[in-house]
């Protein structure tokens, strides 16, 4: 039970930090809105198949940018201080949970902005929201862990991209497939299977993160 | 004999190269012209054979097969050359089918080459469709007492033809890559457990050779695709997922390169290697099975075994996997030894 308390406490800390540095979250939100607007200016009429692709690409890039800072933002001395106080599992879990919430808000914002500039092509809202939620979880786990790896190196921005993009392709591909059927672009007979694959990938990655993270922070 | 496995590897690869290239293909039929006909006519088709010996055969028989029970035998066969013959069939006025166009398979049998088949060789267009009439008119001549090809040969498959030999390179190299990468992950786990630099160097060298094998598998696959599917690169899911897997592993080397400190490099490299392997698993084994692919083994049909792999192919295919893997292990071993020497030299400097 102590670990749950630690996670809750660290989550509180994350929220407080975010509240004090409002420009960081504001920057990400503005990033989404301006990207959506650039996309709108470039294409003007966004057909549903293009909408699907653009939506997930914007979500992908915004998520990488949002999560990349999670381990870089605090300096190494302060991280050392956390590590002496808290369990590494509590640290990574709190970061992942915090990022899930952040990315979910980000996808909702992207969805909203895309709906304003283009029409809302989503036909089956339940499937689409489920995809958004599972997608946020998958992106959050992968990106948080990769940002922990990248933060150890010097040129972390480049590393963040080259390490995380190929790793996230299975998740992104499955998400696009699910959302294609949510947009009624294709009849998907194996929707349950797709959700199961997505859930399984999330679970496998989460399990690995739990096992591997303690080795990462031991400097 | 300390080096038995290296000798075994070389022997198996030589066996693959020599036997895999020397053994001929079974006789087959690549082409029939014309490939369409009308009902109620006498149809003469020109058959081109591959690796056939029509002039040596005493008795050549040919059938047009419609389904499991119905087949027509050729009235007349004239042999023109070892690989060319003309077969004449009498097509009845109506066929026992309610389709406008009926595909018929061509079967040619003689005692030298054995039986060879070309599925959907001739398409017969029906002038008017009367299934009952067709059944009454049909003179059935059942296919019986087919000959077998004597001697060792690889199966002839349409479209694949001689490229079937690429199984020993393309498929075996992928298997080899996978075995090497499994070894690399095992050493990464061992490093995180014991923190010995040797384990990390072994893991790194195995990954390096695994990636080389993967790239070679990609290259042989591209050549194969050019000859069978028509282009070097397609949108096939398995192909692209494999390319992504290669990107994941190339990123591993960039990650290692960005650290100066040796222990940090080893630790974080090991962590990423395990993570990358787990992420690669759905890429190569789960997602391709959920979508259609041009590769065998996807979209429902069995991958290895069944009719794709016959016993003669197996005799080369399994040894070739072992051979390539052993050669890969040898390469990794050499890499590991140079890396270790370099590491020791650096250590002495301090």
Per domain, the residue ranges of chain A are 2-217
**Model confidence at B289, in pLDDT bands (50, 70, 90)?**
low
The answer on B228 and B125 residing in a single domain is no
Instruction: Tell me whether residue B320 is in a domain.
Output: yes
3-state DSSP percent of chain A in helix, strand and coil, to 5: 85, 0, 15
Residue of A nearest to B271 (CA): A212
Q: Is the pLDDT of residue A189 over 80?
A: no
Q: Is the pLDDT of residue B305 over 50?
A: no
What confidence category does residue B205 fall into, taking pLDDT thresholds of 50, 70 and 90? very high
Closest-CA residue in chain B for A200? B282
Which strand ranges, in their side-by-side order, compose the sheet holding B76-81? B28-33, B42-50, B84-90, B76-81
What is the pLDDT at residue B297? 56
Q: What are the structure tokens assigned to A3, written together?
A: 């670990």
What is the b/e burial string over A69-80, where b = at least 16 CB atoms within 10 angstroms of the residue's CB?
bbbeeeeeeeee
Same domain, B276 and B310: yes
Residues 6 or more apart in contact with residue A17 via CB below 8 angstroms: A73, A74
Question: Cβ of A166 and B251 within 8 Å?
Answer: yes
Same domain, B213 and B317: yes
Residue B25: the pLDDT is 87
Could you tell me how many CB contacts below 8 A there are between chain A and chain B? 78
Token pair listed for B137: 């008119």
- In the block, which residue shows the tokens 């061992």? B190
Q: State how far residue A217 is from chain B, nearest Cα, in angstroms.
A: 10
Domain match, B340 and B211 both: yes
How are beta strands B36-38 and B114-125 bridged, if at all?
parallel
Q: Is residue B18 part of a domain?
A: no
Mark whether B288 and B176 lie in a shared domain: yes
- Do B221 and B310 share a structural domain? yes
Using CA coordinates, name the residue in chain B closest to A201. B282
Pair (B124, B201) in one structural domain: no
- The number of distinct structural domains making up chain B is 2
Q: Say which residue, B48 or B295, is predicted with more confidence.
A: B48
The alpha-carbon gap from A105 to the nearest alpha carbon of chain B, in Å, equals 26
Does the pLDDT at position B306 exceed 50? Answer: no
The residue ranges of DSSP E strands in B74-224, in sequence order, are 76-81, 84-90, 101-110, 114-125
B76 in Cβ contact with B45 (< 8 Å) = no
* Span of B88-97, B189-198, B215-224 with lowest mean pLDDT: B88-97
Average pLDDT, stretch A97-119? 91
Q: In angstroms, rounded to a whole number, what is the distance separating the alpha carbons of residues B224 and B331?
A: 26
Tell me if ipTM is over 0.85. Answer: no
Tally the C-alpha atoms within 13 A of residue B9's C-alpha that lie toward its C-beta: 13
Question: Which residues fall within 8 angstroms of residue B265, CB to CB, at 6 or more apart?
Answer: B256, B259
Specify whether B201 is located in the same domain as B85: no
- Nearest-CA residue of chain A relative to B256? A153
B167 vs chain A: nearest CA distance in angstroms? 27
Query: A106, A62 in Cβ contact below 8 A?
Result: yes
Residues B176 and B320 in one domain: yes
pLDDT surpassing 50 at residue B122:
yes
Q: Find which of A139, A169, A180, A204 to mutate to test the B interface (most B CBs within 10 Å of its CB).
A: A169
Least reliable range by pLDDT among A69-78, B17-26, B66-75: A69-78
Mean pLDDT, chain A, rounded, equals 86
- Please say if the pLDDT value at position B190 is more than 90: yes
Instruction: Indicate if the pLDDT at residue B329 is higher than 90.
Output: yes
> What is the rounded average pLDDT of the residues B19-23?
89
Asked if residue B20 belongs to a domain, the reply is no
Q: Is residue B17 part of a domain?
A: no
Checking if the pLDDT of B8 tops 90, the result is yes
Residue that is written with structure tokens 């689409």 in the block: A128
Q: What is the pLDDT of residue B300?
A: 40
Identify the DSSP state of B84: E
How far CA B275 is from CA of A135, B205, B289, in Å, comes to: 19, 18, 22
Q: Is B267 touching A (CB cutoff 8 A)?
A: yes
Q: Containing domain of residue B131, as a range?
A: 28-137
pLDDT tops 50 at residue B133: yes
Could you tell me the CATH number of the domain that includes residue B124? 2.60.40.10
Whether B191 is covered by a domain: the verdict is yes
Under an 8 A CB cutoff, do A154 and B258 touch?
yes
In a domain, B5, yes or no: no
Pick the most confident of A151-160, B76-85, B125-134.
Answer: B76-85
Looking at the fold, whether B344 and B277 belong to one and the same domain comes out as yes
Q: Could you say which of B105, B137, B169 is where a domain stops?
A: B137
B165 and B127 together in one domain: no
Q: Is the residue at B154 inside a domain?
A: no
Around Cβ B89, how many Cβ atoms within 10 Å?
22
pLDDT digits (tens, 9 = 90+) for B216-259: 999 999 998 888 888 888 877 788 888 888 999 999 999 998 88
> Are B194 and B307 members of one domain?
yes
- Rounded CA gap, A29 and A63, in Å? 11
């Amino acid at each position: 039970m102590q670990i749950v308390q630690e996670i809750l406490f660290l989550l509180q800390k994350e929220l407080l930090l975010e509240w004090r540095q409002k420009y960081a979250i504001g920057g990400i939100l503005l990033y989404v809105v301006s990207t959506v607007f650039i996309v709108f200016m470039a294409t003007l009429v966004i057909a549903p198949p293009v909408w699907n692709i653009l939506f997930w690409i914007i979500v992908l890039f915004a998520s990488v940018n949002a999560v990349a800072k999670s381990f870089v933002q605090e300096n190494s001395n302060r991280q050392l201080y956390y590590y002496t106080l808290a369990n590494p599992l509590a640290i990574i879990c709190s970061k992942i949970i915090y990022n899930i919430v952040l990315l979910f808000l980000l996808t909702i914002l992207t969805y909203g902005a895309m709906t304003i500039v283009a029409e809302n092509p989503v036909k089956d809202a339940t499937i689409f929201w489920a995809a958004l939620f599972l997608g946020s979880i998958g992106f959050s786990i992968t990106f948080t862990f990769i940002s922990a790896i990248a933060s150890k190196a010097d040129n972390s921005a480049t590393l963040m991209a080259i390490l995380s993009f190929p790793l996230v392709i299975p998740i992104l591909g499955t998400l696009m497939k699910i959302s294609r059927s949510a947009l009624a672009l294709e009849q998907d007979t194996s929707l349950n299977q797709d959700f199961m694959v997505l859930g399984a990938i999330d679970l496998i990655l989460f399990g690995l993160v739990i096992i591997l993270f303690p080795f990462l922070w031991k400097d | 004999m300390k080096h038995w496995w290296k000798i075994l590897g070389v022997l198996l690869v030589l066996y693959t190269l020599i036997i895999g290239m020397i053994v001929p293909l079974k006789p087959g039929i690549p082409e029939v012209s014309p490939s369409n006909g009308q009902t109620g006519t006498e149809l003469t088709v020109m058959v081109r054979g591959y690796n056939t010996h029509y002039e040596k055969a005493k008795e050549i028989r040919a059938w047009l097969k419609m389904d499991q029970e119905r087949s027509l035998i050729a009235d007349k066969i004239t042999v023109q050359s070892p690989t060319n013959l003309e077969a004449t069939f009498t097509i009845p006025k109506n066929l026992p089918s309610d389709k406008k166009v009926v595909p018929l398979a061509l079967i040619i049998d003689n005692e030298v080459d054995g039986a060879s088949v070309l599925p959907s060789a001739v398409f017969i267009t029906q002038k008017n469709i009367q299934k009952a009439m067709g059944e009454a008119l049909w003179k059935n001549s059942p296919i019986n007492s087919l000959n077998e090809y004597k001697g060792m040969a690889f199966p002839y498959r349409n479209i694949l033809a001689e490229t079937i030999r690429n199984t020993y390179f393309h498929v075996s190299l992928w298997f080899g890559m996978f075995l090497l990468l499994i070894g690399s992950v095992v050493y990464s786990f061992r490093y995180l457990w014991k923190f010995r630099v040797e384990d990390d160097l072994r893991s790194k060298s195995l990954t390096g050779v695994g990636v080389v094998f993967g790239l070679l598998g990609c290259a042989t696959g591209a050549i194969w695709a050019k000859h069978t599917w028509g282009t070097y690169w397609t949108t096939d899911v398995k192909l692209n997922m494999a390319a992504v897997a290669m990107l994941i592993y190339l990123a591993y080397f960039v990650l290692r390169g960005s650290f100066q400190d040796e222990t940090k490099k080893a630790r974080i490299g090991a962590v990423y290697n395990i993570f990358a392997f787990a992420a690669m698993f759905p890429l190569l084994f789960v997602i391709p099975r959920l979508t259609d692919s041009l590769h065998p083994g996807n979209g429902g049909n069995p991958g290895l075994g069944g009719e794709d792999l016959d016993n003669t192919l197996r005799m080369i295919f399994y040894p070739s996997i072992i051979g390539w893997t052993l050669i890969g292990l040898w390469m990794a071993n050499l890499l590991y030894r140079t890396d270790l020497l370099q590491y020791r030299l650096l250590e002495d400097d301090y």
